[in-house]
Amino acid sequence: ILLDFTPQLPPNLDIKTRISLKERISRIIIFSATYNKYAFESDAALLLLAAASLPVDAFVPSTSKHESISSASSTTITDLTQLGTLTVPQIGCGTIAWSTEKGRPNPDLAELVTTACKQGGGFFDTGERYGSHAKTALGMGWGETECLVEQLIREADMNIDSNISAASKPVVATKFTPSPWRTTVDSVIEACDESRKRLGVDSIELYQIQMPDIVKPLRFLGIDKSYDEVYWDGLAECYHRGLVKNIGVSNYGPTLVTECHEHLAKRGVPLASNQIAYSLIGRHNGAQETLDRCNELGVKVLAYYPFAMGLLTGKYSSTSPELSAEDALTSALSLSNSKRSKFERKDLERYANGDGKRIPAGGVAPLLRTMEIIAMNRSTSVAQVALNYIICKGAIPIPGARTSAQYVDNMGALHWRLTEEEIIQMENEADNLGFSFDGAGFKRSDAKFVGYGMEKWSLS
């Protein structure tokens, strides 16, 4: 959101008060002027009167939210990269939080997909295991999001004036989920074919394994045979049958990704990608080593949790005066009003503010201050800086988005690059925090809740 305003503060105010007032006023402008003109006029009037009778008409937004989004959504994305045989935007879009409303696609999601198509395509990451939160938690809802993605793309094609061309059609990646009952090559082929049908395609553009074969409910009885190589053979068979165009894996560390790469190479199949948790504060516990190894092998890393579940957008930290007014606006209530579980909120609050134990007081704020300065100098946002950092490291960030506005904002991290000095500065600040991000609640970067408990893996 671009705003043009000039606060006329009384000259007798001290610098601390002036900064505080400017921050508070700009929060009101960004929030109220965007959503409610009358709320803006009344709220601003109250604040201005309290702030030494400042003139109410001193601030006039020049661009509305909808005008900005409309302009940005029509911009064609040309900042592209190679992912196996695919050409995709340098930033993808995660769909794990997508859901329907009373059996129909959410209008916000429909607008998002239409925006992606108008921008020249889009790269959406989904999985057979993705579905509404309740169903997913109960082990049901398989294929739900795949069907939703297919429907949204199909309807976007019908609604756009000229039908989606092959060049602007979104790329969709999906995933195979290792499960105790899947122990053969045929089980992979069957799962792949079902995903292919749900997505409405002849061949899946990128088919990934969601995680190493760690779901072993009978491990306590000594039954814990690994079927990773069986799954690799299954992927290779899908590739040779033309069911998929590219093969990928997820949550593989340097050792396992190397073994998989070599195993597939013997069957004449290239390994295109490896999806792992990676962010400025998520480079430890083997993540950076995995990225480095993948870059050596020519395997593209797809980075989930690029914002560290929102921590690197600034929206959970209200104590940092350098945070932009737009981020600070929602910080105080964002966790309490979010749909996250209380376990997730508790963990995120520790990361955001520190607990004086594992996480030093101040939490992630010192890093955010550095990111905010870089963002201000570049006229961009903290979130876009976080995404651009990942691009600069050679990976494709996969942030989630549920509205066209969120999608467009994420794409604002394209067509520019951080300098080496900026990257080093942020990495030094991140390293000095004294902790790394490994997820919150049941959503971990090194474990997955699988019904009977948490199963863990280690990239390192």
Residue 427 and residue 190: Cα distance in Å, rounded? 44
Q: For the chain, what is the radius of gyration of the CA atoms?
A: 23
Strand pairing report for 439-440 and 443-444:
antiparallel
Position 75: which residue type? T
**Tokens in use for 106?**
């959410």
Give the other-Cβ count within 10 Å of 6's Cβ. Answer: 8
**Tokens in use for 298?**
């020519």
Residue 276 and residue 337: Cα distance in Å, rounded? 28
**Tokens in use for 54?**
């400042």
Answer whether 272's CB lies under 8 Å from 300's CB: yes
Query: Is 130 a catalytic site residue?
Result: yes
Cα dihedral: 322, 419, 381, 119 (round 10): 180
Q: 3-state DSSP call for residue 105?
A: strand
The DSSP 8-state label assigned to residue 446 in this structure reads: S
Cα dihedral: 121, 82, 393, 122 (round 10): 10
Residue 331 and residue 328: Cα distance in Å, rounded? 5
Answer whether 77's CB lies under 8 Å from 22's CB: no
The DSSP 8-state label assigned to residue 263 in this structure reads: H
Helix axes 325-337, 342-353, angle to 10 degrees: 140
Residue 79 and residue 91: Cα distance in Å, rounded? 9
What are the two backbone dihedrals, phi and then psi, of residue 303, each rounded to the nearest 5 degrees? Answer: -105, 110
Q: Which of 38, 130, 278, 305 is catalytic?
A: 130
How big is the chain, counted in residues?
A: 460
Residue 449 and residue 355: Cα distance in Å, rounded? 25
CA-based torsion, 119, 121, 123, 128: positive or negative: positive
Sequence-ordered alpha helix ranges (H) in 36-101: 37-50, 65-73
Answer whether 45's CB lies under 8 Å from 56's CB: yes
Residues designated catalytic: 130
